[in-house]
């Protein structure tokens, strides 16, 4: 990877240490320029005319998204964010009272809230897979839970928001396929930072967002829907006139492809920017991005491990580009003050984002750092040395 060129295309990574790609990353210049150009067209002609005259530009979004996750274009739906994709997927499942959802202790907070909301309104039963001592999913426990509970849905967050953990979605997917259970993967933090391949994961739905490791604009995301789900005729509960045609006063006909999960109104300029970001990732190559990310994190984790007063809150046998830490006797305010003075862009994760995880760890906040391939090894050294001096 040509890091010098990548950094030149991300000019604002030069005057700060930006390590918040798990929040909202820095967009490459090409992404911002493509949004500008499209908006200027809309300024001149109005949105409808521009969309009508640019069908291939918009079609490119589906091609790039599909290529990124090894899917086909008809399996991709644009979403306004990961949660939009997730709730549309959930709404398509015909839950009945007593149906079981199996998830993990580390699934994203909003997903957990949505399951609890389904439990409140529809009497869904929520089960969580046991976590092993090291933080990995207990696959044997999962297998037993599936056999015993016969779930309608298994929902797993690939990389949780706060712990560096990579959950074993491949093994979960294998079991779901064998047992014919719907498998929903929240890949919001993994798509863009590592190789994500829906053929390998064998999921039915996969959700992600544009602004994080994909380096796209805010207000974008996408949903992958498998052929199995499309062929079963599942559709979002509140489908609109884009996803279906109103045929007679009491009937409607659903689209054949995953676009049945989209709303008619979409932010076209942002879609174009998101397409540029997806192309950027595809051209760099996810394998290269993943390798670069691993080498950055190896250095960063080793640096922090060498500071005795620092506790990192990593868990699991495989870790990603999210690292949370605290420093003995140092308040959140003090660490943030030093980070702000040194222009270290970071995020704070609090216990409501991981109720079960934080209770186990016995803390109520951590600082979250999430480097990405445009960061440098020198930055990993500098941040560690600044933390050491706090
Ligand atoms: C693991 C995970 N899933 C889902 C989301 C929600 O993404 P969005 O805000 O795009 O809906 C986040 C956001 O931080 C996340 O970390």
281 CB-near residues (< 8 Å, 6+ apart): 68, 192, 214, 215, 289
Tokens of 282: 């595809």
Q: Look up residue 72 and give its DSSP letter.
A: -
Residue 163 pLDDT > 90, yes or no?
no
pLDDT band at residue 54, thresholds of 50, 70 and 90? confident
Q: Look up residue 319 and give its DSSP letter.
A: B
CA distance 174 to 199: 11
Q: What pLDDT, in 10s, does the model give residues 164-206? A: 899 999 999 999 999 999 999 999 999 999 999 999 999 999 9
pLDDT band at residue 209, thresholds of 50, 70 and 90? very high
Q: How far is the CA of 40 from the centre of ligand 1 (A)?
A: 30
Tokens of 238: 């509140």
Helix axes 109-122, 82-91, angle to 10 degrees: 30
Locate the ligand 1 atom nearest the alpha carbon of residue 186 and give its number: 3
Locate the ligand 1 atom nearest the alpha carbon of residue 158 and give its number: 1
pLDDT over 70 for what percent of the chain?
A: 100
- The domain limits of the chain are 3-26+286-389, 29-284
Residue 157 in contact with ligand 1 by CB distance below 6 A: yes
C-alpha Rg value of the chain to the nearest Å: 21
Q: Which of 213, 165, 189, 196 is nearest to 24 (CA)?
A: 213
Tokens of 319: 């870790």
Average pLDDT on 351-380 reads: 96
Residue 168 in contact with ligand 1 by CB distance below 6 A: no
Q: How far is the CA of 190 from the centre of ligand 1 (A)?
A: 11
Which pairing describes strands 221-225 and 244-248: parallel, antiparallel, or unpaired?
A: unpaired
Residue 206 in contact with ligand 1 by CB distance below 6 A: no
Phi, psi of 38 (to 5 degrees): -70, -40
Phi, psi of 104 (to 5 degrees): -115, 165
Predicted confidence at residue 30, as pLDDT, reads 98
Q: Write down the residue that tokens 């399996």 correspond to.
A: 75
The four Cα atoms 281, 283, 285, 291 give a dihedral, to 10 degrees, of -70
Chain mean pLDDT for the chain: 97
pLDDT over 90 for what percent of the chain?
A: 98
Q: What pLDDT, in 10s, does the model give residues 100-159? A: 999 999 999 999 999 999 999 999 999 999 999 999 999 999 999 999 999 999 999 999
Other beta carbons within 10 angstroms of residue 144's beta carbon come to: 13
Q: How far is the CA of 370 from the centre of ligand 1 (A)?
A: 14
**Diameter over CA atoms, the chain:** 71
Q: What pLDDT, in 10s, does the model give residues 315-363? A: 999 999 999 999 999 999 999 999 999 999 999 999 999 999 999 999 9
Residue 81 in contact with ligand 1 by CB distance below 6 A: yes
Residue 188 in contact with ligand 1 by CB distance below 6 A: yes
Predicted confidence at residue 16, as pLDDT, reads 98
Q: How far is the CA of 81 from the centre of ligand 1 (A)?
A: 8
Query: What kind of fold does domain 3-26+286-389 have according to CATH?
Result: 3.90.1150
Average pLDDT on 301-316 reads: 96
60 CB-near residues (< 8 Å, 6+ apart): 275, 279
Q: Look up residue 370 and give its DSSP letter.
A: B
Cα four-point dihedral sign 227, 232, 238, 241: positive
Residue 375 in contact with ligand 1 by CB distance below 6 A: no
Mutate-to-test residue for ligand 1 from 21, 78, 83, 205, highest number of ligand atoms within 8 A of CB: 83
Residue 55 pLDDT > 90, yes or no?
no
Predicted confidence at residue 273, as pLDDT, reads 98
Q: How far is the CA of 284 from the centre of ligand 1 (A)?
A: 24
CA distance 34 to 37: 5
Residue 221 in contact with ligand 1 by CB distance below 6 A: yes
Predicted confidence at residue 164, as pLDDT, reads 87
Task: Please count the helices (runs of H) and the strands (runs of E) in the chain.
Answer: 15, 15
Predicted confidence at residue 350, as pLDDT, reads 95
> The domain 29-284: what is its CATH number?
3.40.640.10
Residue 387 in contact with ligand 1 by CB distance below 6 A: no
Predicted confidence at residue 377, as pLDDT, reads 98
Q: How far is the CA of 63 from the centre of ligand 1 (A)?
A: 23
């Amino acid at each position: 990877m040509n890091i010098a060129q990548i950094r030149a295309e991300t000019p604002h990574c030069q005057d700060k240490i930006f390590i918040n790609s798990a929040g909202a990353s820095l967009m490459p210049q090409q992404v911002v320029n493509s949004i500008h150009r499209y908006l200027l067209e809309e300024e001149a002609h109005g949105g409808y005319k521009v969309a009508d005259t640019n069908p291939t530009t918009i079609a490119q979004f589906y091609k790039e998204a599909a290529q990124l996750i090894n899917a086909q274009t008809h399996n991709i739906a644009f979403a306004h964010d990961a949660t939009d994709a997730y709730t549309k997927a959930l709404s398509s499942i015909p839950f009945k009272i007593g149906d079981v959802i199996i998830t993990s202790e580390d699934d994203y907070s909003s997903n957990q809230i949505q399951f609890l909301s389904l439990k409140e309104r529809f009497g869904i039963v929520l089960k969580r897979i046991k976590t092993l001592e090291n933080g990995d999913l207990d696959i044997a426990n999962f297998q037993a839970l599936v056999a015993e509970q016969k779930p309608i849905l298994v929902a797993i967050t690939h990389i949780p928001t706060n712990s560096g953990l990579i959950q074993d979605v491949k093994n979960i997917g294998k079991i779901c396929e064998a047992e014919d259970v719907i498998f929903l993967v929240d890949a919001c933090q993994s798509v863009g930072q590592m190789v994500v391949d829906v053929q390998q994961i064998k999921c039915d739905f996969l959700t992600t967002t544009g602004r994080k490791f994909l380096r796209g604009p805010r207000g974008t995301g996408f949903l992958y829907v498998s052929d199995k789900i499309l062929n079963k005729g599942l559709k979002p509960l509140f489908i609109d006139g884009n996803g279906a045609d109103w045929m007679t006063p009491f009937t409607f006909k659903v689209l054949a492809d995953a676009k049945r999960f989209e709303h008619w109104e979409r932010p076209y300029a942002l879609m174009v920017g998101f397409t540029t970001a997806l192309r950027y990732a595809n051209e760099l190559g996810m394998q290269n991005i993943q390798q670069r990310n691993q080498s950055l994190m190896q250095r960063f984790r080793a640096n922090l491990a060498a500071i005795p007063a620092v506790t990192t809150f990593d868990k699991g046998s495989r870790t990603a580009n999210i690292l949370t830490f605290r420093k003995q006797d140092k308040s959140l305010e003090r660490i943030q003050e030093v980070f702000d003075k040194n222009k270290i862009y970071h995020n704070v994760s609090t216990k409501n984002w991981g109720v079960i995880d934080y209770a186990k760890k016995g803390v109520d906040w951590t600082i979250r750092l999430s480097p990405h391939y445009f960061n440098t090894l020198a930055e990993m050294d500098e941040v560690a040395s600044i933390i050491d001096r706090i």
